[in-house]
Amino acid sequence: MAKKKKVSKKKVKKSASKTRLALKKKSSAKKIRKAKPVRKAAAKKKPVPKRKKPAAAVARPVKPKVPAATAGPLPGAPGTASKPVTPAGGAVPAPGIPAAPLMPWREPLPGEIPIGQVDDYLSHLEVILTKLVNPLAVGDPLHIRGNTTDVQVTVKSMQINHLPVSQADTGQEVGIQISEKVRKHDYIYKILSA
């Protein structure tokens, strides 16, 4: 076996300190300090003058709220009484001049009876979902009226709970297939044959 030389601790410390000094000299020679960028002084903001408070608050008259028109039962439906229609402001027309209805599509035209209101329209199937107010059968002509809708169609087919039917009675929820686009809340009327 080879004998190991013993190195004194003093020699290790001296050699380590020499290498440290040499590294410090090299690194200090490489370091170059960068100049800091000069910043402009921020502009001072002008103070905003305070507003004066008004001496006394003026009492303003409060306008009465007008209730929004709500969709009630269909006109001509069984068990409903007809009420005169007045404008939203509550003004009554002069005597001798008939009052124009606010929403004419809510009133059936002569020769029509109400069937229901469009609860939903499935555009990809072209199907109306509605609850009937009067009986309906396949092949009956319909007049569907709304704010932007006014179409006359014929009932192609009808379903109750995904089962095809040829007739449906009052109070049943049905799906009616038609060929025109309609919108939710449009009114459906059956055209009576002359």
* pLDDT value at residue 52: 73
Closest among 110, 146, 113, 130 to 178, alpha carbons compared: 130
In contact, 169 and 113? CB cutoff 8 Å = no
Distance CA 146, CA 71 (A): 12
* pLDDT value at residue 3: 62
- Between CA 34 and CA 39, with CA 37 as vertex, the angle to 5 degrees is 160
Sketch the domain layout of the chain as residue ranges: 105-191
Distance CA 52, CA 158 (A): 71
Distance CA 122, CA 127 (A): 5
Distance CA 114, CA 108 (A): 7
Distance CA 172, CA 142 (A): 17
The amino acid sitting at 121 is Y
Give the mean pLDDT per block of 10 residues along the chain (194 residues). Answer: 59 59 57 69 76 67 63 58 54 62 74 91 91 93 90 92 93 92 91 76
For 105-191, CATH gives: 2.40.30.10
* pLDDT value at residue 30: 54
What tokens does 172 get? 């049943």
* pLDDT value at residue 142: 92
